[in-house]
């Protein structure tokens, strides 16, 4: 069975990339984590219930604080996969609920705005 992070997830996410540099984004923000979430179908099948996972989609290369794309399998190998029982919690964690202070407020504001737009577009269909 794969060892996913189940306890103290926020703390572990905050400590995951300390001192590893930053990645500049196209919108002039910076990132050390770009989280993505989804259902781990193989684990769900083994356990007989849904398992949702969150993992960073970028990883430091070790060369001057640069980052490169990271696959789900690479995240498993690095021990950077967080496990959740509920899809909504996984989605909120990926959106930035693990952050602190102003960064968290901004991330959650963007998450709520995105969800509101999704509901609006689904309503219009």
- pTM of the predicted model, to two decimals? 0.82
Residue 32 within any structural domain of the chain: yes
- For residues 70 and 2, which has the higher predicted lDDT (pLDDT)? 70
Residue 3 within any structural domain of the chain: no
Residue 70 within any structural domain of the chain: yes
Residue 42 within any structural domain of the chain: yes
Domain residue limits at 13: 9-94
Residue 40 within any structural domain of the chain: yes
Q: Examine the pLDDT at 86 and tell me if it is beyond 90.
A: yes
Q: How many domains does the chain have?
A: 1
Q: Examine the pLDDT at 109 and tell me if it is beyond 90.
A: yes
The pLDDT of residue 59: 82
Residue 4 within any structural domain of the chain: no
The pLDDT of residue 93: 94
Q: Examine the pLDDT at 113 and tell me if it is beyond 90.
A: yes
Cα dist from 104 to 3, 100, 101, whole Å? 27, 5, 5
- 51: tokens are 């398992």
- Kindly write down the DSSP assignment for every residue of 21-88, as one continuous string: --EE-TTS-EES--EEEEE-HHHHHHHTS--EEEEESEEE-SSTT-EEE--HHHHHHHT--EEESSHH
Residue 50 within any structural domain of the chain: yes
Are the C-beta atoms of residues 49 and 55 closer than 8 Å to each other? no
Over range 94-113, report the average pLDDT.
Answer: 91
């Amino acid at each position: 069975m794969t060892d996913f992070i189940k306890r103290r997830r926020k703390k572990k996410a905050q400590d995951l990339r300390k001192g590893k540099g930053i990645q500049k984004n196209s919108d002039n923000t910076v990132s050390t984590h770009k989280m993505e979430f989804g259902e781990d179908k193989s684990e769900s099948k083994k356990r007989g219930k849904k398992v949702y996972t969150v993992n960073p989609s970028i990883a430091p290369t070790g060369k001057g604080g640069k980052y490169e794309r990271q696959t789900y399998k690479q995240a498993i190998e690095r021990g950077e996969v967080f496990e959740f029982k509920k899809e909504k919690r996984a989605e909120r964690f990926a959106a930035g609920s693990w952050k602190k202070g102003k960064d968290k407020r901004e991330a959650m504001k963007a998450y709520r705005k995105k969800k509101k737009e999704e509901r609006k577009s689904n309503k219009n269909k």
